[in-house]
Amino acid sequence: MKFSAIRAAPLAFFREICYTVVMKKNQTICPSETPEVIAPELPKKEMPVRTEQQPSSRPVTRYKFRFSILILCVLGAGLALCLAAIGLTTWQLADFLQAGSPGSAAQWLKFALLYLVSGSLAVIIIALLIRSEYLLTGKELVLAFGFIRMRYPLESILSVHLFKGAGKLAVYFSDEKNKYMAIVIRESLYETFVKDLLSRSERIAFSFSTAEEEEEFKKKK
């Protein structure tokens, strides 16, 4: 009996060592049969779940189209002419009404056409000045010129390139009809526009060229 007890003691000691090593690997120390919890318990209060906003659900961002000084002068002159035409037509109509004659249908048609043409052109010019912009949605890039809108799906955009030397930004498409489009906005908004566009589609690549590289490319041409 004594011999068997002495023989069983090393086996029990070996089992105890193995048990301790296994429990250490599981990062739990159990000095007794009922292990104590050493790590602090997680709070029972439900933690807020962070949900990432999908590109399609993101709000629309607008970037004002930047007209050149020459274009602004032309639009301003056109608007001034339209307003002058409306004023002149109004003055002629007032004289016509003061004459007291009913007039012919051709005269009334003339006034109607003058108001229609000059008024329509004035509205178009004002719309161009106010509503010319780029819109980025979750699915497309929209170029708005007054009442005209051209839509380009984000899936058709291959890359966006920044020409640092020329100070221009261009978007390239996979469509053969629309190979590229210049983004005419303020240069201070280039970085914001690029980040916004890239965040809406992972497929779109970004690249840039320095002034030296652009000069070398022109020489090769």
- Strands (E) in 52-131, as ranges, are 61-64
pLDDT at 28: 43
Residue 70's pLDDT is: 96
Last residue of a domain, one of 82, 112, 130: 130
Q: 13-16: long-range contacts at Cβ-Cβ below 8 A with a sequence spacing of 24 or more?
A: none
Give CA angle at 190 (184, 196), nearest 5°.
Answer: 110
SS3 139: coil
β-sheet with 157-163: strand ranges across: 180-182, 168-173, 157-163, 205-209
Amino acid at 188: S
93 and 160 within one domain: no
Residues 70 and 125 in one domain: yes
Q: Annotate 177-188 with b (16+ C-beta within 10 A) or e (fewer).
A: eeeebebbbeee
From 93, 98, 142, select the one nearest 115 (Cα to Cα).
93
The count of domains in the chain is 3
Q: DSSP secondary-structure letter at 34?
A: S
**Which residue bears the tokens 């307003």?**
83
pLDDT at 158: 94
State whether 110 and 139 are in the same domain: no
Q: Is residue 175 part of a domain?
A: yes
- Within a domain: residue 61? no
Per-residue confidence of the chain (221 residues) as pLDDT tens digits?
444 444 444 444 445 544 444 444 444 444 444 344 333 333 444 434 334 445 556 789 999 999 999 999 999 999 999 999 999 999 998 888 887 777 778 888 999 999 999 999 999 999 999 999 999 998 999 999 999 999 999 999 999 999 998 999 999 998 767 789 999 999 999 999 999 999 999 899 999 999 888 888 887 76
First to last CA, the chain: 102
Q: Do residues 151 and 212 both lie within one domain?
A: yes
Q: Are residues 99 and 140 in the same domain?
A: no
pLDDT at residue 106 in the model: 85
Closest CA to 185 of 76, 44, 68, 14: 68
Beta strands in 21-179 (DSSP E): 61-64, 133-136, 140-145, 148-153, 157-163, 168-173
Helix (H) or strand (E) holding 5: helix 2-25
Whether 59 is in a domain gets the answer: no
Same domain, 138 and 172: yes
d(CA 22, CA 104): 108
CB 69, CB 138: distance < 8 Å: no
Is position 155 within any domain?
A: yes
Per the structure, the complete domain to which residue 7 belongs is given by: 1-36
pLDDT of residue 45: 42
* Residue 41 tokens, joined: 């318990």
- Do 121 and 153 belong to one domain? no
Q: Hey, what amino acid is at 164?
A: K
Last residue in a domain, options 96, 130, 164: 130
Tell me the pTM: 0.66
Name the phi and psi angles at 121, rounded to 5.
-65, -40
Residue 58: predicted pLDDT:
76
